[in-house]
Structure 1
Amino acid sequence: IGSFGTIEIGHKTEMGKVSQVMDMGNKLRLEKGLRPIELREILVKQDFWEFVIARNTQQFRYQLSQNNDFTDIDTKYLDSRDFKSSLSLEEFTDYNSENHQIKHSKFTELDKYRDKMGQIQYTELMKKFPHLIQSKRGKNGGTWAELYILLKILMMIDKDFIKHIKNIDIEIFDFNEFCKLPLYSRQQRPQKVSFIYVITDGEFYKIGATKNINRRIEILQMGNPRPLKLVYQKETPNNRAKEIEHYLHKYFSDKNILGEWFKLSEDDINQIETIVNQRL
């Protein structure tokens, strides 16, 4: 990959060791004066698992296009533990088993794999996609991943790797197919943003989402005799703001007073920040 090094890929598994790309990416970060990133920081990210799901859908769609007979699909996708559960077709894709048509990936299913704090339980998700990413013990221990996933990890460590990834020339990699994966493409485009915010009137707290936070506070102040204070705000993509707002309302439902107003503590505010960061 440019002058940064070589990723070793297994001939049969088409997977490589994640530690190789972590070392490669962090070397570049250190040269830029940035702190190294740990693998766990990547594995708890929503966008990483959306990429994995999209890659799973992409792979299976290709397999279907290459086989008129559904039963002829490459055995590495038929995993002995159970075909549908190992591919998570029913769970993570809108798939019609009667005509073998795939419409799209279902990223919202990731919410089932979060703990009470909203953090993604990546060890459970890895069991769903062993053909894309897995952990091993023993002689070949460590975390291993399919080439596209390895490259996604590199991109998450340092986006400058795109300049080198597009020049990779290997039979099992197609840069155009890599760019079709929705998360990758979405991250490269400027996005309109909204804000998750928390304001207080000195007694209660309002958790909300808005595109114009200053205007929103002005409007809310008109109907409240107490001065409002902004205690938390976080910029989020438009298409994620309402989802996160809804999750926070549900998470703190036992502390709800009325509508979007809650009785919160300082620890709750800190928890909101943690939850929002984990869901982005």
Structure 2
Amino acid sequence: MAWFKREIKGIITTTEEKKEAPDGIWNKCPNCKKPLHYSEQVENQYVCHYCGFHIRIGSKEYFSILFDDNQFTELFGDLVSGDPLEFTDTKKYTDRLTETKRKTGLKDAIRSATGKMNGQDLVIACMDFNFIGGSMGSVVGEKIARSIDYSIANKIPFLMISKSGGARMMEAAFSLMQMAKTSAKLALLAQAKVPYISLLTDPTTGGVTASYAMLGDINIAEPGALIGFAGPRVIKETIKKDLPKGFQTAEFVQEHGFLDFIVDRREMKEKLASFLKMLAVPAPAPAPPVG
């Protein structure tokens, strides 16, 4: 039965001959579920052009968006986590670190770099959620501390981009100590009158929210970002009350006074550049000539 085999020229006869799109070319918007082409995502700075949802991105993407021509110098790139507690749960912490480094190509949950943004010098420390949930361990705290020292020494503004599930449980008290260390370093940055802008992205939670993420001269967030300390379930069980609609979204947090601005990622570079100009300390006027 030739008609049943579709032998007409030009008609595909088997599924083996069909060409599938390579992985990573297309994906769905997590919010509206509409298909997005990768090139369109890059062009639109990883914001869905259908619904405006801000897709989670990491340090590589933020650096390409904010630094002029994606030109920057990475700082303290050789820092890696140790295992001071010899932590073991379902697997050794050292094995978890090795596996995560291989999968992500990152050395820890943060990268720091310096470069120019709209011609202005800037230091950026950006967290990566793909590295053990963007958890804050000793390396995260140390990189932030050293980045702040670099900003102070060179009088360069500091931008912190937070994206984290909180403290890294595998480092216990060593992780919690980073809250105090980074906060103390930010106090020194303020004394030096070097501007600090904190950008909170989805999600920013736990000890990160309770320390450096909320200590900016200007605190800003991306639309719809989850921002909070404990999770909604824990809070509900603690206070024994239903939580308001939209609780812990950037919009709710701003309405209650914890954020200065919510900025669309597509406008982020221009907004940050304007903030830095406002915060810049004017150079002292030259002394009048003697005589």
Do both proteins adopt the same fold according to a TM-score greater than 0.5, normalized to the shorter chain?
no
Whose relative contact order is higher, 1 or 2, with alpha carbons under 8 Å and at least 6 apart? Answer: 1
TM-score range, shorter chain: under 0.3
TM-score scaled by structure 2? Answer: 0.22
TM-score scaled by structure 1? Answer: 0.23
Give the structure with the higher percent helix: 1
